[in-house]
């Protein structure tokens, strides 16, 4: 598989992943930046696991951007009055206020449907670390949801 | 799973679905074009040579003396160096002796992220020292001192030409070295 095919195969997943981490409008820019940075040094096809490599690189880039701006990506997402089916704004803020690693873990496991082992491989972490992030994120959200 | 567990999981799913639905995905381009370039259409391309020059400038400013001048174009294995880290928000460029394109390691930001990951309640962590040693032609071992509330924590990393993926290992808190 050549570099273009690898990118084409993983691009949309990476953009969604980045969007969850830095906000929907910046997701595509993050992915383009990361891929160009990788391509400046090597071919995607030379990587042992290009998909995992790109996911980790996107997470690192998102963390760097968040640390530079010191802001959460709330400004990129319109928060409207909640309908019956939509989460309340404070719940939305709580999720977007989670550390990037916790958001990444919850996104990969709860939205993308990965196992903790699969998520750990993509994030370059031990499964136990991912489980800890899930626990911390759930604890935070549970407090906001006030579920018993 | 308990109803409480289901509620929390479903809430995560709904919020992430909303974000994903709002994330614009433009037509596929190869090679990809960053949004900022697409919007501004800058006449000058971001060439590797420009990147090397910028990195050399940053290193020169950081060290006070030029890295290239101090240790030659390709540092020897075993060479040690120290980077003055004064900011927790700006990138700290650290050279890796790759012959054609020395990448940078955002050591300060990465070390702080590692510190906060291991100890989430650290207050105002900031990098006070970065020291390193070249271990072979393409890698460098870094030790980064993160200070928080009067205590110092050392974090280590092995940097290589694949700088987009970093593995940090934490160290115990201790006294701050001058």
> Which residue in chain B has the smallest CA separation from A46?
B162
Distance from CA of B159 to the nearest CA of A (A): 14
Q: Which residues of A touch B22 (CB under 8 A)?
A: 19, 24, 77-78
Question: Quick one: tokens of B21?
Answer: 């639905």
B55-109, pLDDT tens digit by residue? 333 333 333 333 333 333 445 566 666 655 443 333 344 433 322 223 334 566 6
User: Could you give the ipTM of this predicted complex?
Assistant: 0.88
Q: What is the 3-state secondary structure (H, E, C) of chain B?
A: CCHHHHHHHHHHHHHHHHHHHHCCCCCCCCCCCCHHHHHHCCCCCCCHHHHHHHHHHHHHHHHCCCHHHHHCCCCCCCCEEEECCCCCCCCCCCCCCCCCCCCCCCHHHHHHHHHHHHCCCCCCCEEEEEEEEECCCCCEEEEEEEEECCEEEEEEEEECCCCCCCCEEEEEEECCCC
Q: Which residues of B touch A7 (CB under 8 A)?
A: 30, 32
Q: Which residue has the higher pLDDT, A93 or B36?
A: A93
The residue among A87, A93, A96 with the most chain B CBs within 10 A of its CB, best to mutate, is A87
A57-105, pLDDT tens digit by residue? 888 778 778 876 654 444 444 444 444 456 688 899 999 999 888 999 9
Query: Which positions ≥6 away from B12 have C-beta within 8 Å?
Result: A95, A106, A107, A110, A111, A137, A141
Measure CB to CB from residue B8 to each of A11, A38, A142 and give the nearest one: A142
B172 band by pLDDT with thresholds 50, 70 and 90: low
Q: Is B17 on the interface with A (CB under 8 A)?
A: yes
pLDDT at A66: 82
Interface touch A87/B117, C-beta < 8 Å: no
Question: How far apart are alpha carbons B131 and A113 in whole angstroms?
Answer: 41
> Which residue in chain B has the smallest CA separation from A35?
B32
| B9: pLDDT strictly greater than 50 | yes
Measure CB to CB from residue B30 to each of A4, A27, A56 and give the nearest one: A4
Residue with tokens 């930001």: B109
Backbone angles phi, psi at B141, to 5 degrees: -95, 125
A19 band by pLDDT with thresholds 50, 70 and 90: very high
pLDDT at A117: 95
Interface touch A35/B31, C-beta < 8 Å: yes
Q: Is B22 on the interface with A (CB under 8 A)?
A: yes
A109 band by pLDDT with thresholds 50, 70 and 90: very high
Q: Which residues of A touch B19 (CB under 8 A)?
A: 19-20, 23-24, 77
Question: How far apart are alpha carbons B5 and A52 in whole angstroms?
Answer: 28
pTM exceeds cut of 0.90: no
> Which residue in chain B has the smallest CA separation from A104?
B16
Q: Is B44 on the interface with A (CB under 8 A)?
A: no
Interface touch A95/B11, C-beta < 8 Å: yes
pLDDT at A81: 43
> Which residue in chain B has the smallest CA separation from A19?
B23
Q: Is A71 on the interface with B (CB under 8 A)?
A: no
Q: Is A77 on the interface with B (CB under 8 A)?
A: yes
Q: Which of residues 113-172 of B touch A (CB under 8 A)?
A: 113, 116-117, 120, 161-162, 164-167
């Amino acid at each position: 598989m050549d570099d273009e095919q690898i990118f084409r195969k993983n691009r949309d997943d990476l953009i969604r992943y980045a969007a969850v981490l830095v906000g929907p409008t910046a997701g595509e820019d993050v992915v383009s930046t990361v891929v160009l940075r990788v391509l400046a040094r090597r071919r995607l096809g030379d990587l042992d696991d290009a998909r995992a490599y790109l996911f980790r690189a996107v997470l690192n880039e998102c963390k760097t951007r968040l640390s530079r701006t010191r802001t959460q990506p709330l400004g990129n997402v319109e928060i409207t009055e909640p309908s019956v089916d939509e989460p309340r704004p404070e719940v939305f803020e709580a999720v977007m206020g989670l550390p990037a690693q916790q958001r990444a873990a919850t996104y990969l496991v709860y939205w993308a449907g990965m196992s903790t082992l699969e998520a750990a491989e993509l994030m370059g972490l031990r499964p136990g670390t991912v489980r800890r992030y899930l626990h911390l994120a759930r604890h935070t959200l549970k407090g906001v949801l006030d579920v018993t | 799973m308990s109803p409480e567990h289901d509620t929390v999981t479903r809430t995560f799913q709904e919020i992430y679905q909303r974000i994903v639905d709002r994330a614009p995905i433009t037509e596929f381009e190869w090679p990809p074009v960053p949004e900022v370039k697409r919007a501004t259409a800058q006449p000058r391309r971001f060439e590797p040579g420009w990147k090397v020059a910028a990195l050399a400038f940053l290193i020169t400013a950081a060290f006070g003396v030029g890295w290239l001048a101090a240790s030659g174009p390709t540092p020897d294995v075993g060479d040690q160096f120290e980077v003055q880290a004064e900011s927790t928000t700006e990138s700290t460029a650290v050279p890796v002796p790759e012959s054609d394109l020395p990448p940078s390691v955002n050591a300060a930001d990465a070390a702080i992220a590692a510190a906060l990951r291991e100890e989430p309640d650290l207050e105002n962590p900031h990098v006070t020292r970065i020291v390193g040693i070249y271990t072979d032609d393409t890698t460098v071992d870094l030790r980064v001192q993160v200070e928080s509330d009067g205590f110092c924590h050392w974090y280590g990393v092995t940097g290589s030409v694949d700088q987009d993926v970093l593995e940090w290992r934490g160290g115990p808190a201790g006294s701050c070295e001058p």
